Structure 1
């Protein structure tokens, strides 16, 4: 016989849904929901799983009647549409409820229930609706009817599915029976008292975070719950060492006593083993040697007839390779015949004690507990966390504002500069000319007046040639007049030629002086005419020196840029400096900061005075680009400030005018380790500086820029 595939698919679909419904109903049966909520959720789950039209749960009253406890769409199945339908339905419920033994019932649409002896009843037990009615009894633990679960199912399903629906309804009624049995157990006075004791025990052990206090509560109150002779608590605070925190009945744990030392050794070995140790008068075979040795040593000190050492692990202890955080040791000197209830109660106590002991042990590991405990006491004294936070924030703000006003702090102003020798010179041509030769190399040391660059000027050559021509012409006139005077016989004409000779001599000497002046002024070379030189300048003879100074060429190789190029007198050829002399830092101080520096020099409290010379100066912190991890010290003297602000030509993004200042790098009273080393002196090296402008209020030193902006934009505006 063939099977309809549609029916098979429908059966499989309902089978999967029914299995899921059983899992959900089992959770509901073990929950702590109120009965009304349980009935409603169970009925909705029952109807939704098999897609039933309506349903109801009927429960027995104290008088023995059925009363509707919960219903879903019961008014839509037509109980009031036909005459007598409601009475027949009520009779059907009564007979199924009173049936002995209780059993489920299935009625087809317009079907009758005919139990023995009910054929001649005045009101028949019938289903006059157009739906299948599924009835299943809800039973008490002693198998008496407590109520009914009723389901109205559509008649359009395959007939073979309705027995499965009836079986499903009976199973769901069974979960309702389990829920009532659970309610009965909770209503038992002894169980209720036990639950109350356990709840009080849990609240007590979680009332503190001190390991010793928690352990004493666990030991003393847990002994009462377990009903044993002694309960000991150990907590592991380190990697493996266990501390015996509490022993029931003992006010103080003498950790140096032999009894406690043996107990601690037993706890450590059991924790390392990781299993529960049970001793019932004889030692079990197969114990690890370390555990057996520790057990024997403890039994020699204490003589219990029954002992259980149970490690308790909190769910937050995720690493299985580490021993549990705590352990309980139960001892009974005159045990009962059945010791399993003691072990079960120990497990219950251990489940509640594990998180409390774990919290206390973790709290002990928190650093600075001596600081947090007074803060907690203050918080409780103020009346709560909100007030404590408000007062703490207000106090911190007051302290912060007080520090910003009262605490002195040096005002440091940033500025950028470059490292330069004090004696530095630029070489310019005496007149406009074409560069024909560069006679020095980068870094070459040269003496003063050394020929650095040779140039050629056509204009200068023309002027020299003109002076030479005038001298030669005057020389010819002088020689001609001299020749005539030697040959002249007439005395009357002699005066005329002597005058001509004297005039030619004077012209010759004037032309010669002009020629020599051009040679000296432009440092001309002998030949060719018009070729002159640019030389290194001379040093200031007034400066004291230990040895003769010498210039060093600072520029790079500029042959490609200068050779063959016409250079005007204001264009620089080369730059030289005395690298063996004194160096300084050329600063570009923004004009917004120069006021602070001027005030520091004007106020005697803000600047220093050099003892040897009496000059005023400010300390300057230096940071060389070549040594960005070392701070050095320099000095800014009052005469090191220029009196003019000029546009900043070095910063393309910041065109704010700057004031040039010079910082001395070396002074006799600067400690050697704070002086910049000469090995780092490179011309043009970038230096970041911070000028110390004396002690000011901490808030002003840190936020003076904010105050100046506020004053300029807000106060000055009004």
Structure 2
């Protein structure tokens, strides 16, 4: 082969390498998972180098180096025996901690800075290893098995693999930045949610904000909030709706379901194959799903938060801490309930449950504060005064305060200051015993005895009045007439 042909061959190889690196860089710039990216990187590296096989290792939890992908390991011989696997693991650990990439011929040893042997290549192949970092810390390793070749060719393999390791490091750095950005975005959303849900002390307004803001945090399709009103849980807010139509069958169904779940005292996650529901909950759940067509839902009863022990000058009160952490003797009645629904998902992963629990924790504190605020004495009057802009303007505020204090002072005086009450009126004394007195015969009163008046005292046998009986007079006249007639005869 002439020098010109060799130059052209080198240029073609260099162009091929550049094309492969650019292709891997495009893969790294996309929204790909670690397994997808490193799998594509390994396949392209093996094809470009015409290698036997290879692995990509990443630093996992606990500081262990674990494989994220591999290819054609059955041709490498590292799984032929437990001894070979153990020797290969030691080799990976030694190369992972090396300051740069290494070429390890068959049977060669890797030595440390003190010159002592750390590991040995247990295969009959050339091991080409290139570690890569993430954020300045060692994060992974690309390991390729190749047939031994000339020294300059092997150095070319190592140089190519180190370039791929640089692309892998850039990919991990970008993923770390994206993860940090996502965490920052999530923290900002939670902060805005916390401020919004604690802004109002009105239970209905708090429930409305909780329903709409929680939907964004959880990432579900609908959130409903029920608040305890008149000793029962009532639906007060639904995300995306300005009001609640209480006569709707879906509203009545969700209220019945939540009340049954609240009496049980445990959250409900549906579907949950690991939990067998009581018949009363299962019946209400099926009825509500028929009404709402939800494929997944979570019902979280919101209990009144326990008081936090106050730190005293001498330290935390151990008794108060024990009472706060002790389990309640009875199932506490919830003050509200949070219902999250999905219409296109039927599974609950750890992130979904964590977001629902986070929203529920903030929600129960906000609603509890609002309910305590509205239960204060004279709250309706204070609330009405607070809503009146005329009474609370800067010019009228002193007068409003004075009038309120005067009204309160008047009420207090009427309740606690004793006062003498005197009433005047006319009346008649009535005897304890009353008897009606009648004359022995009928007649007309001709005269009342002197000194006899209404209400006067009298004695037995005293003359009270003189009567004239006309019947007696008629009888006497009749007798006298008969007598005169008899005498004339």
TM-score interval w.r.t. the shorter chain? 0.3 to 0.5
Larger Rg: 1
Q: When you count helix as a share of all residues, which structure comes out higher?
A: 2
TM-score normalised according to structure 2 size = 0.42
TM-score normalised according to structure 1 size = 0.29
